[in-house]
């Protein structure tokens, strides 16, 4: 991650920790570059020692030792330090970890060291065993110790965010505390799916989580390396991606169960990950651009995967460096208005441009077409004639490029290619959830999203898309004649990603 004002906490749940080797932990730490690491599960001495020996940042294991509360501070310089070991007064965040939720019964115990919290500084509270309780009979949910958490929040001088150790990373909810305010609770990645989660907390108290499978680090990050292949490689002294990239393809292909094609695939992808540079696998040109002009980068925000409204259309024009957004921030029950405004702009000013998306074939384009047919049918024919291109389809699905991201999500790929995001502190799922709250109570000021933040989030995706395009455009092409070469990093023959 890039350095900034956010507090970046890497959560390694117990089920994920049991699936990663020491080299994979080192790889994950280098990939995420967290300010601190938290192990919210039951104390595991092997995992704890392995992480501590692999990083200089604090490793927080709330259930270790006999202490009930530990407190850390992120200084203005970006370091996270134990409060008892610093005199720094300029801070961006305070981080408090309790041993378990039983400590919350006595809020005074959590706040016993409540000296030095700077006014308005966000406080992050880690509760490793906190989980939402669901009643299947009444279809209701309750958050244990909500009253105690509300009391703690009321006694703090800054905004409080609670991290729940037993909730999945996708969990993000504002709990009504009964006093006209709400408490933000975010999951830390529990769920038995073996994922590592980077939790980013902004200076105004927002929280966003990014999850990556534990199998996406170390040797397992390389395409074609599953559990059996990893074991084979390790038996033959290949324990890191550097080892893999430095092993001739002829040697790899001779290993049991590997073969020539798999060896070439693994060799090339290991090199792409290590260099952070994409590789053009074919001689196919990038999607054709209309009139030779840069594409218009497009992204949309909806109220979910089966949308009832496209509430934000965002477009970035690399030719002028301008971002334009159309946001339905007044009447969510009238989805046609935003669609028509976007179409007026698009066809009135950019009808002769190529429209570029990431996974537009899988989501954006069919969603837009459906809403045009429902609310702006006069533009359907023009939409059909528009030049629309999906960079994800061209690069990933069609196998024209190898990319260094650990997943194929746009933000992951862009960051692996050196893109520095805007640090909005929200995710796509959170933008949808925020708009759903607005739709339920459009006249309630408490339900109104931070429109500017959501505009920046969409803009960030558009600019990231252009960054990926440029990186692929400048990428090295792999000559098929290099197939015959058995040494170095010039193997090819890759047909899928």
Q: Which of 238, 224, 125, 233 is nearest to 495 (CA)?
A: 224
Cβ proximity of 197 and 211 under 8 Å: yes
List pLDDT tens digits, range 333-388.
999 999 999 999 999 999 999 999 999 999 999 999 999 999 999 999 999 999 99
The answer on pLDDT for 490 being more than 60 is: no
Contacts of 381 (CB under 8 A, 6+ apart): none
Cβ proximity of 3 and 22 under 8 Å: no
With cut-offs at 50, 70 and 90, classify the pLDDT of residue 89.
low
3-state class (DSSP) for residue 258: coil
Highest mean pLDDT among 28-42, 156-170, 246-260, 349-363 belongs to 349-363
Question: How many helices (H) and strands (E) in the chain?
Answer: 16, 22
For residue 187, the model assigns a pLDDT of 94
Look at the block and give the residue holding tokens 């194929």.
408
Residue 468 CA to residue 318 CA, distance in Å, equals: 13
With cut-offs at 50, 70 and 90, classify the pLDDT of residue 215.
confident
Angle at 325 between CA 324 and CA 331, to 5 degrees: 155
Residue 401 CA to residue 279 CA, distance in Å, equals: 5
Average pLDDT over residues 102-130: 82
Average pLDDT over residues 289-302: 95
Cβ proximity of 77 and 2 under 8 Å: no
Q: Which of 217, 255, 261 is nearest to 237 (CA)?
A: 255
Q: Which of 354, 356, 377 is nearest to 464 (CA)?
A: 356
Residue 328 CA to residue 350 CA, distance in Å, equals: 21
For residue 374, the model assigns a pLDDT of 96
For residue 66, the model assigns a pLDDT of 76
Per-residue CA distances from 4 to 26, 77, 78, 90, 371 (Å): 22, 10, 8, 15, 38
Enter the pTM of the model: 0.83
Give the H or E element holding residue 49: helix 45-52
Q: Using CA atoms in the order 451, 456, 457, 462, what is the torsion angle rounded to 10 degrees? A: 130
């Amino acid at each position: 991650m890039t350095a900034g004002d956010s507090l970046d906490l890497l959560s390694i749940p117990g089920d994920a920790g049991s699936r990663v080797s020491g080299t994979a932990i080192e790889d994950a730490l280098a990939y995420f570059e967290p300010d601190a690491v938290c192990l919210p599960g039951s104390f595991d001495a092997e995992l704890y020692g392995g992480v501590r020996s692999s990083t200089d940042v604090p490793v927080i294991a709330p259930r270790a030792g006999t202490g009930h509360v530990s407190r850390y501070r992120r200084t203005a310089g970006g370091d996270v330090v134990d409060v008892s070991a610093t005199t720094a007064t300029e801070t961006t965040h305070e981080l408090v970890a309790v041993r378990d939720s039983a400590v919350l019964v006595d809020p005074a115990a959590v706040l016993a060291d409540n000296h030095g919290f700077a006014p308005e500084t966000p406080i992050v509270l880690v509760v490793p065993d906190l989980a939402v309780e669901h009643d299947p009979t009444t279809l209701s949910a309750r958050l244990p110790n909500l009253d105690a958490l509300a009391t703690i929040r009321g006694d703090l001088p800054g905004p409080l965010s609670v991290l729940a150790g037993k909730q999945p990373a996708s969990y993000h909810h504002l709990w009504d505390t009964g006093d006209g305010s709400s408490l933000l609770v975010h999951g830390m990645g529990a769920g038995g799916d073996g994922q590592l989660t980077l939790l980013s907390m902004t200076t105004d108290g927002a929280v966003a989580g990014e999850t990556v499978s534990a199998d996406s680090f170390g040797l397992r990050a390389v395409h074609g390396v599953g559990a059996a292949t990893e074991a084979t490689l390790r038996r033959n002294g290949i324990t890191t991606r550097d080892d893999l990239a430095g092993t001739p393809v002829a040697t790899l292909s001779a290993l049991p169960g590997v073969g020539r094609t798999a060896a070439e695939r693994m060799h090339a992808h290991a090199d792409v990950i290590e260099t952070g540079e994409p590789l053009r696998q074919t001689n196919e040109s990038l999607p054709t651009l209309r009139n030779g002009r840069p594409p218009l980068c497009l992204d949309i925000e909806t109220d979910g995967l089966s949308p009832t409204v496209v509430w934000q259309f965002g477009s970035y024009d690399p030719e002028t460096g301008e971002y334009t957004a159309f946001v339905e921030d007044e009447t969510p029950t009238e989805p046609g208005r935003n669609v028509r405004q976007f179409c007026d702009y698009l066809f009135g000013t950019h009808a002769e441009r190529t429209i570029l998306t990431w996974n537009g074939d899988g989501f954006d384009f069919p969603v837009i077409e459906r809403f045009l047919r429902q609310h702006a049918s006069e533009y359907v024919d023009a939409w059909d004639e528009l030049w629309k291109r999906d960079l994800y389809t061209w690069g990933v699905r069609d196998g024209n490029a190898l990319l260094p991201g650990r997943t194929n999500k746009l933000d992951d790929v862009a960051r692996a290619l050196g893109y520095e995001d805007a640090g909005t502190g929200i995710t796509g799922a959170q933008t949808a959830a925020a708009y759903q709250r607005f739709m339920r109570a459009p006249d309630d000021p408490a339900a109104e999203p931070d429109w500017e933040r959501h505009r920046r989030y969409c803009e960030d995706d558009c600019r990231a898309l252009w960054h990926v395009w440029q990186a692929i455009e400048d990428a090295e092409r792999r000559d098929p004649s290099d197939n015959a070469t058995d040494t170095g990093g010039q193997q090819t023959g890759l047909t899928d990603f």
